[in-house]
Structure 1
Amino acid sequence: MVSEALPGYAKGVKVEKISSAIHEFIKANVPGEDILLDEPMCKHTTFRVGGRAQCLVRISSIRQLEKLIPYLKTVGVPYFVLGNGSNLLVGDKGYKGIVLQIGSKMGTAMVEGACIRAGAGLAMIQAARCAQENGLSGLEFASGIPGTLGGGIVMNAGAYGGEMKQVVKEVTVLSDQGEILTLDNASMEFGYRTSVIKNRPFVVIGALLGLVPGKKEEIFERMEALAKKRREKQPIEYASAGSTFKRPEGYFAGKLIMDTGLKGYRVGGAMVSEKHCGFVINTGTATAADIAQVIWEVQERVKDKFGVTLEKEVIFLGDF
C-alpha cells in the first residue's frame, strides 16, 4: 500500500530510536516527562489505532516550538504537528519522525470583550463552552467537534452551517524558520475544509475569535439542540475521525456511499457506519490498514458507479 507520508516499520516491531544528539537537544528544551519515546499513536488519535512514533513531544510553550521546529528542519528530521488526533489515521507500522503535540498545556482562553483569545491547544468543545459561559454566540457549531482550535483553524472545521472562517479574526502562526507572524482573516484564505496553512510551513499557536453577545440560556439551548442531532444522526458511540470524506460539489458523500450499496461494508474491524454512511468507524478491533482499506474501497466504488471522486478529510500518516 502506498504511504501518504513517511515510511514506517513492520507491525509489532519497535521503531528505530532517534539519535542521541537529537534526543539531547529535545531534552535541553522540554521536560523529560513530556518526551515519550517509541510512543503508540493509538493513544493519540480518535480512531484509537496506529503504530508507534519514534518520539512524541508534549508541547507546553511557544518557546519550545521556536526552538524545536527550526532545529528539526535544519537537521532534516521529519516532524508532524498533532492536536487531538481527531482527523488523523496513523499507519500500523509507525512513523519515523517526531510528533509535536499541541494540547491542553497550550489551551489557554481569555475573554476580551466580544472576543476570545485562545491558544492552539484549546479543545474546540472547551472554546464553545467558554463562549457560552461568557454570553458570546457564534461558536455553537463547534460544541461537538472533538479537535483542537489549531487543527480546526487549519482545516476550517465546521458543522451545521457554521465554520471557523466565520469567527476567526486573526491567527498567530510560527514559521519553520522560527518567526512569529499574525495573519488576518483574509490572509488565511479559508475555503471548504482548507486554509492557507495547509500549503505553507506554518504552525498555528493561537487565534483571536470574534463573537457576538447573546443570552447564555439561548446559546446553551442551541448547543444542546446540536448535540441531540449528533446523537441521533452520527455514530458517536464508536471510535472514528468524524466525517471521513469532504462533501463533493453538488452531492452528499453519505448518500453516494449508501446508494453504492456500501452501508455496513467492512474490512476486519473497520466499517462504513450503518447510522451515517459518511463515517468510517472502528468497531473495536480495527487496524489502521482495515480503516484505510475501507476508505480506498469506498472511493473506488463511488468513482466507478457515479463518476464522483470522494476526497477524504482524514490525514494519512506513515505506512500501512
Structure 2
Amino acid sequence: MNIFENRIPLEKLKLNEPLKDHTYIKLGGKADILIHPTTKEEIINTVNIAKAHQIPLTVIGKGSNVIIKDQGLRGVTLSLSQFDQIKVYGDKVVAQSGSNIIDVSRIALDNSLTGLEFACGIPGSTGGALYMNAGAYGGQMEEVVAQALVVTKNGELLNMARDDMQLGYRNSIFRTDQYIILEVEFNLKKGNKDVISSVMQDLTFKRESKQPLEYPSCGSVFKRPEGHYVGKLIQECNLQGTRIGGAEISKKHAGFIINADDATAEDYLELIRLIKKRVRDQFNIELETEVIILGE
C-alpha cells in the first residue's frame, strides 16, 4: 500500500473493497487494492508502480459488462469510473474512458451531432464500449470512433487510429489487455436536433420494453451466433426463468441473466454453463460469452 500512497492521493485508495459495489450486476468478491484515478498522471503512475513491483493489475470501467468471481481480484484494480470528462470541439467529441457512453450520446444530441444515437441506451463506460466495440440497433462504436489515447502496460502514451484497433463484432485489440484506453475521440456529423432526439427516444422505448431493467444484470450474456438469436435458442431449450441461487434467466428477455436475489458470481456462472451445454446439445451451436469474466 505504501508504494501507492506517495503517488496516489489517499482518498482514491481502498483496501479489501467489495467489487459488487462497483458492478451493475451487484455480485463478486473483493479487490485487494482499488484505485479510483481522476487524472492521466494517476493512471500512468499506477501502471508504472504495478509493473515495477510485479503487482497484478486489472482495469475496469463502470462495471456494466463484467462478472467478478467470488474470490475477488488480487493485486491492484484500477477503476476508471471517475475519470469521466467529456468535451466537444466542433464536430468532434472527446470523452475520457470512464465517462458514461449514454452521457456522451446526450452531449452529442445537445450539440446537434449525429452518429451516437445507437449508444443512448448502452450502459457502461466509453472505454468499455470501445473495448467491446459495443453496438445496438444497427450502430456500433467502430462507425464513429476516430482515434483513442491509450497507455501501454509499460506506461507509454500512444495515439491509436481506428484502423489500428482491430475492431470486429464485440471485439478489439484492447481485449488483448496490452493497452488501457484513456480517451476516445468521436468523429460525428451535424444533424437535426429534433430528428436525433426522436431516434433516441424511440430506441430508449424499445430497450425499456424488451429488457429487464428493473433488475441488476450485465446486459446480453452471449454474442449472437450467425443466423440465430440467443434469446430464442434459450427459450427453445425451455430454460427461460430457470434459477440457480439468486441468479435467474430473465423471464422478460432470455438473453439476460439477472441478479434476482443476492446472487453469487458462481450462481451466474453455473447458469452460463447450463445454457451453453443445453444449446450445444440441442442445436450443435457453441455460444460465446460477451460478458467479461474476471478473477481466479
Q: Report the TM-score when normalising by structure 2.
A: 0.98
Is 1:143 paired with 2:120?
yes
Partner of 2:168: 191
Residue among 165, 170, 177 paired with 2:147:
170
User: What SS is found at the alignment partner of 1:29?
Assistant: coil
Preserved contact between residue 147 and residue 185 of structure 2 (Cα < 8 Å): yes
Gaps of 5+ in 2: none
User: What SS is found at the alignment partner of 1:242?
Assistant: strand
Distance (Å, rounded) in 2 between the aligned partners of 1:75 and 1:36: 19
Preserved contact between residue 220 and residue 290 of structure 2 (Cα < 8 Å): yes
Partner of 2:190: 213
Partner of 2:34: 56
Is 1:272 paired with 2:249?
yes
Distance (Å, rounded) in 2 between the aligned partners of 1:62 and 1:160: 33
- Where in structure 1 do 4 or more consecutive aligned residues deviate above 2 Å? none
Partner of 1:11: none
Residue among 203, 218, 229 paired with 2:180:
203
Q: How does 1:92-131 map to 2 (within 5 A)?
A: 92-104=70-82, 106-131=83-108
The superposition leaves residues 259-318 of structure 1 with CA deviations (integer Å, 9 ceiling, x where unpaired) of: 111111110111111111110111132111111111111011111111111111111112
**Residue type of the alignment partner of 1:166:** E
Gaps of 5+ in 1: 1-22
Preserved contact between residue 27 and residue 262 of structure 2 (Cα < 8 Å): no
**Residue type of the alignment partner of 1:185:** R
Partner of 2:58: 80
Distance (Å, rounded) in 1 between the aligned partners of 2:148 and 2:229: 31
Is 1:44 paired with 2:47?
no
Shift of 1:247: 0.5
Distance (Å, rounded) in 1 between the aligned partners of 2:158 and 2:134: 22
Question: Over the residues paired in the alignment, what is the CA RMSD in angstroms?
Answer: 1.0
Is 1:237 paired with 2:205?
no
User: What SS is found at the alignment partner of 1:96?
Assistant: strand
Higher relative contact order (CA 8 A, sep 6+): 1
**Residue type of the alignment partner of 1:250:** G
Shift of 1:255: 1.0
Is 1:29 paired with 2:7?
yes
Is 1:313 paired with 2:273?
no
Residue among 31, 46, 53 paired with 1:68:
46
User: What SS is found at the alignment partner of 2:95?
Assistant: strand
User: What SS is found at the alignment partner of 1:241?
Assistant: strand
Q: Quick check: 85-94 or 40-49, which moved more?
A: 85-94
Shift of 1:200: 4.6
Residue among 149, 155, 158 paired with 1:181:
158
**Residue type of the alignment partner of 1:103:** S
Distance (Å, rounded) in 2 between the aligned partners of 1:268 and 1:37: 28
User: What SS is found at the alignment partner of 1:92?
Assistant: coil
Partner of 2:202: 225
Identity %: 40
Q: Report the TM-score when normalising by structure 1.
A: 0.90
Preserved contact between residue 234 and residue 255 of structure 2 (Cα < 8 Å): yes
Distance (Å, rounded) in 1 between the aligned partners of 2:70 and 2:173: 30
Residue among 108, 111, 132 paired with 2:109:
132
User: What SS is found at the alignment partner of 2:219?
Assistant: coil
